[in-house]
């Protein structure tokens, strides 16, 4: 008798399973599965936190009190962000860091690409070497730089002979002098991300049609004329793309600050990303941080849309053959 019950149960279970799998394998059901999974992920990790951030930005709440005591307080958080000089100072500093870093990354990356493009022998080797910094995990890069910048570290050792000539104390305190610390962070960013601009420019150089350069040569153009009249104008799209991509990334600069200076000395190396992190995770000012990040989102969005507009305009110009 027991045998027949288990048999019946298994038939029942199998029936249910097969009915379920039959239901799933209908096309009208099945075609929703990938969609639901992707969209579900999207809602879970983007939409919900984003909605919560907006909600929290209108609350009066600090994480050292229970959430039940939080209450809506209108735009008060936004008012205090606008009134907060720390926010604006760090935002200004971010633009300063990003601007300086991106300018150097573009110039150095451009010249490296120009040189590597002309190498025929061992080109792969140089490309590999020059791309390594980009592949290094930012935390590792930051940690390495924290050692390079030690008072008795390798950077000062290398600089010492030169500095002695000018009677400058060779123990430059890279991370505790405000200006030196700012440039220490910019330098770390340049080291890591010049690889990317190099890569963009190298692909730009490789995409230059050789016939155009030959045509210029046959017409007697010098190397300089060919570069400024033919190659550089044709590289404009690559330049715009490099500027936009690097600027977007550099405005979010965070890792080198945490790893090298913790925003110090004082607040001299606080970027806006670091400032937000500190307000929220160190001072528990959740609702203030939420409001500040929403404002930052608006400011950066405007910049990014402008960047996308520039890339798009460049793309259309290429289609029209104007480049």
Q: DSSP alpha helices (H): ranges in 58-208?
A: 76-83, 85-118, 123-135, 138-148, 154-165, 178-206
By CB under 8 A, the count of residues binding another protein is 22
Choices 18-26, 215-223, 241-249, 264-272 (CB under 8 A): range interacting with another protein: 215-223
Contact with another protein (CB under 8 A): which of 54, 136, 221, 258? 221
Q: Which residues lie closer than 8 Å to 306 by C-beta, 6 or more apart?
A: none
Quote the CA–CA distance of 287 and 61 in Å, as a whole number. 6
Round to whole Å and give the CA distance between 208 and 216.
13
Cβ proximity to another protein: between 165 and 219 the closer is 219
Q: How far is the CB of 223 from another protein (least distance, A)?
A: 10
Query: Does the protein bind another protein through residue 217 (CB under 8 A)?
Result: yes
| Window 192 to 211, contacts with another protein (CB under 8 A) | 209, 211
For residue 59, the cross-strand partners are 72
Q: Tell me how far, at minimum, the Cβ of 231 lies from another protein, in Å.
A: 11
Phi, psi at 62, each rounded to 5°: -120, 145
Residue 282 near another protein by CB under 8 A: no
Helix or strand or coil: residue 259? Answer: helix
Toward another protein, which CB reaches closer, 136 or 317?
317
CB of 186 to another protein, least distance (A): 34
Is residue 220 part of the contact set for another protein (CB under 8 A)? yes
Which of residues 36, 165, 218, 298 is near another protein by CB under 8 A? 218
Question: Considering Cα of 251, then 257, then 262, then 267, what sign does the dihedral take?
Answer: negative
Q: How far is the CB of 200 from another protein (least distance, A)?
A: 19
The least CB distance from residue 216 to another protein, in Å, is 7
Is 225 a binding residue for another protein by CB under 8 A? The answer is yes
In the complex, the smallest distance separating the C-beta of residue 315 from another protein, rounded to whole angstroms, is 14
Is residue 240 a contact point for another protein (CB under 8 A)? no
CB 78 within 8 A of CB 293: no
Q: Is residue 72 within a helix (H) or strand (E), and if so which, with residue range? A: strand 71-72
Taking a C-beta distance cutoff of 8 angstroms, is the pair 81, 295 a contact? yes
Least distance in angstroms from the C-beta of 221 to another protein: 5
Q: What is the largest CA-CA distance in the chain?
A: 102
Chain residues that interact with another protein, rule: CB under 8 A: 209, 211-212, 214-222, 225, 229-230, 233-234, 236, 320-323
């Amino acid at each position: 008798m027991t045998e027949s019950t288990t048999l019946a149960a298994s038939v029942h279970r199998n029936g249910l399973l097969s009915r379920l799998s039959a239901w799933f394998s209908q096309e009208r059901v099945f075609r929703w599965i990938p969609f639901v999974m992707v969209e579900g992920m999207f809602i879970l990790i983007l939409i919900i936190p984003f909605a919560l951030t907006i909600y929290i930005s209108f609350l009066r709440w600090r994480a050292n009190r229970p959430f039940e005591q939080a209450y809506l307080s209108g735009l008060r958080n936004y008012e205090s962000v606008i009134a907060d000089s720390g926010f604006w100072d760090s935002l200004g500093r971010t633009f300063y860091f990003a601007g300086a870093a991106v300018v150097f990354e573009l110039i150095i990356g451009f010249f490296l690409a120009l040189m590597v493009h002309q190498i025929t022998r061992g080109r792969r080797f140089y490309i590999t070497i020059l791309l390594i910094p980009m592949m290094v995990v930012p935390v590792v890069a930051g940690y390495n730089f924290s050692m390079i910048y030690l008072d008795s570290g390798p950077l000062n050792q290398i600089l010492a002979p030169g500095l002695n000539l000018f009677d400058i104390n060779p123990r430059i305190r890279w991370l505790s002098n405000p200006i030196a610390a700012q440039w220490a962070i910019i330098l770390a960013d340049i080291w890591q991300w010049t690889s990317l601009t190099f890569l963009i420019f190298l692909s730009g150089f490789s995409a230059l049609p050789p016939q155009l350069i030959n045509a210029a040569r046959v017409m007697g153009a010098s190397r300089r004329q060919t570069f400024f009249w033919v190659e550089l104008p044709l590289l404009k799209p690559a330049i715009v793309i490099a500027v936009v991509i690097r600027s977007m990334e550099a405005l979010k600069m965070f890792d080198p600050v945490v790893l090298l200076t913790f925003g110090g000395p004082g607040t001299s190396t606080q970027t806006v990303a670091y400032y937000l992190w500190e307000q929220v995770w160190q001072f528990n000012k959740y609702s203030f941080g939420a409001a500040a990040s929403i404002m930052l989102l608006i400011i950066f969005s405007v910049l990014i849309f402008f960047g996308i507009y520039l890339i798009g305009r460049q793309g259309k110009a290429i289609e029209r053959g104007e480049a």
